[in-house]
């Protein structure tokens, strides 16, 4: 089949990754820029897989009632697929329906990968964050890639082609004002625009030397490198702080236990735990990035029982398990472990190690529902039940969804 083959398809449901699902002659086709319930003309872009094909919407024949004018004209279906800016793949869907589709993905992931069929899964909703009614203006960090001519822009959807744009509607007003969309950066690979809570927005060109910025959550300040990780939505850090605090069962929390904050970054969630349970809270934040760990040590300095360790989580926790004596193991068994792994999830090795320590409860912050569901299934094999789950729309107009899960030892 030639790659230019076009088909009329009836779109039936949503899949993980923001792609819709259709079928043709019994074959599954994953279609971008479509909405379940629509009939579209789609161009086949990949037919090498025997089990499924991939396609891009060229024209909407029968639109969904939930279709809207795209919030970013540069990503609109009116453009040729290869010239659509990436990063707002749900921008053509009415905002409340975006959240419904994300809810469906979370529930489907739990059912398929965690083998979970319970009221906790059925009752989950995707909660909105404060912000503009149309879901724009929330992104405090934007990376623009640079093409061979030096022109900056986002990549096209599902490619590394740089697209020239005149606006960045998901970005905050300060980031949009600072974005050098008309400038040239010959010889550079990328340009970042970063807005911290203090000091306005700044440009970071290529791999320039980082400087220190300050973020604010409630009345607490966090110092970090401007090139380091911080939540992108203006209200995400506060939302996750509160969600983690509420996800911990107080009856199972022991301030003197060997509590852990894994993949801890600059200490945001360790601070959330310590703020919730008081100055005597003992908690160790573990992070592989030594620069972030250095900032975490300073950000957590007011809690005498808090510290930060540098190490890859899978190695660090394996070493902890190997060297723990009877007293250490008792403190670990009484512990609460918070983890916020990368998009790929914690994985089998880390889940096995945590399960072997037998902490009282686990609070898992996830940015990928399939990885979360897979790990929940692995934890279930080690005696942990999902007892609470919340989902948050930290990334409006994209397919991404954040979840906070509580797992309790049986």
Q: Is 333 in contact with 357 (CB distance < 8 Å)?
A: yes
Residue 2 confidence (pLDDT): 43
Which whole number is the average pLDDT over 330-355? Answer: 97
List, as one string, the DSSP characters of 140-204.
SEEEEEE-TTS-EEPBBTTS--B---S--TTB-HHHHHH--TT---TT-SEEEEEE-SSS-EEEE
Annotated ligand binding at 340? The verdict is yes
- Integer Cα distance of 397 and 101 in angstroms: 12
Q: Quick: pLDDT tens for 243-267.
A: 999 999 999 999 999 999 999 999 9
CA 367 to chain centroid? 3
- Integer Cα distance of 219 and 275 in angstroms: 11
Residue 395 has pLDDT above 50, yes or no: yes
Angle, to 10 degrees, between the axis of helix 236-247 and the axis of helix 268-277?
Answer: 50
The DSSP bridge pattern shows strands 306-310 and 283-287 to be parallel
Q: Could you tell me the pLDDT band of residue 272, with boundaries at 50, 70 and 90?
A: very high
Q: Quick: pLDDT tens for 285-297.
A: 999 999 999 999 9
Q: Could you tell me the pLDDT band of residue 121, with boundaries at 50, 70 and 90?
A: confident
Angle, to 10 degrees, between the axis of helix 95-113 and the axis of helix 369-381?
Answer: 30
Q: Please, what are the domains in the chain?
A: 6-67 (2.40.50.140), 101-131+217-409 (3.40.50.150), 141-211 (no CATH)
Q: Could you tell me the pLDDT band of residue 120, with boundaries at 50, 70 and 90?
A: confident
- Integer Cα distance of 192 and 298 in angstroms: 26
CA 354, 359, 362 angle in degrees (round to 5)? 75
Annotated ligand binding at 117? The verdict is no
Annotated ligand binding at 231? The verdict is yes
- Integer Cα distance of 61 and 389 in angstroms: 38
Mean pLDDT lowest for which of 20-24, 51-55, 201-205, 228-232? 51-55
pLDDT, mean over the chain: 96
- Give catalytic status of residue 184 as yes or no: no
- Integer Cα distance of 330 and 194 in angstroms: 44
Annotated ligand binding at 263? The verdict is yes
Share of the chain above pLDDT 90, in %: 94
Residue 4 confidence (pLDDT): 67
Q: Is 371 in contact with 365 (CB distance < 8 Å)?
A: no
Q: Quick: pLDDT tens for 288-321.
A: 999 999 999 999 999 999 999 999 999 999 999 9
- Integer Cα distance of 170 and 74 in angstroms: 12
Share of the chain above pLDDT 70, in %: 99
Q: Quick: pLDDT tens for 347-359.
A: 999 999 999 999 9
Catalytic residue among 201, 306, 367, 405: 367
Q: Quick: pLDDT tens for 126-170.
A: 999 999 999 999 999 999 999 999 999 999 988 999 999 999 999
> Max CA-CA distance within the chain?
67
């Amino acid at each position: 089949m030639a790659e230019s083959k076009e088909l009329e398809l009836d779109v039936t449901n949503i899949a993980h990754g923001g792609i819709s699902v259709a079928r043709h002659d019994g074959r599954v086709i994953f279609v971008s820029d479509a909405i379940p319930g629509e009939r579209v003309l789609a161009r086949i872009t990949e037919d090498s897989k025997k089990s499924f094909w991939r396609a891009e919407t060229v024209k909407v024949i029968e639109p969904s009632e939930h279709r809207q004018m795209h919030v970013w004209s540069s990503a609109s279906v009116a453009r040729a697929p290869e010239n659509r800016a990436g990063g707002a793949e749900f921008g053509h869907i009415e905002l409340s329906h975006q959240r419904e589709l994300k809810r469906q993905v979370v529930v489907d992931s739990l059912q398929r990968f965690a083998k979970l069929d319970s009221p906790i899964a059925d009752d989950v909703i995707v909660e909105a964050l404060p912000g503009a009614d149309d879901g724009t203006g929330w992104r405090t960090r934007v990376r623009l890639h640079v093409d061979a001519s030096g022109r900056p822009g986002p990549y096209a959807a599902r490619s590394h082609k740089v697209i020239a744009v005149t606006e960045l509607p998901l970005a905050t007003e300060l980031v949009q004002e600072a974005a050098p969309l008309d400038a040239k950066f010959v010889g550079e690979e990328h340009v970042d625009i970063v807005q911290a809570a203090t000091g306005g927005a700044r440009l970071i060109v290529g791999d320039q030397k980082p400087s220190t910025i300050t973020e604010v959550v409630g009345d607490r300040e966090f110092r970090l490198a401007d090139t380091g990780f911080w939540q992108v939505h203006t209200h995400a850090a506060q939302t996750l702080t509160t969600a983690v605090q509420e996800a911990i069962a107080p009856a199972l929390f022991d301030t003197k236990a060997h509590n852990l904050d894994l993949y801890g970054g600059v200490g945001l969630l360790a601070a959330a735990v310590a703020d919730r349970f008081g100055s005597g809270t003992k908690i160790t934040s573990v992070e592989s990035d030594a620069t972030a760990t250095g900032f975490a040590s300073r950000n957590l300095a007011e809690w005498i029982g808090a510290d930060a360790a540098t190490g890859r989580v899978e190695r660090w926790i394996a070493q902890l398990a190997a060297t723990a004596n009877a007293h250490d193991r008792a403190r670990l068994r009484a512990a609460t472990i918070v983890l916020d792994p990368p998009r790929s999830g914690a994985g089998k090795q880390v889940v096995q190690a945590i399960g072997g320590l037998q902490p009282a409860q686990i609070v898992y912050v996830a940015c990928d529902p399939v990885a979360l569901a897979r790990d929940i299934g692995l934890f279930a094999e080690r005696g942990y039940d999902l007892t609470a789950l919340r989902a948050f729309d930290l990334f409006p107009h994209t397919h991404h969804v954040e979840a906070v899960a509580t797992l309790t030892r049986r």
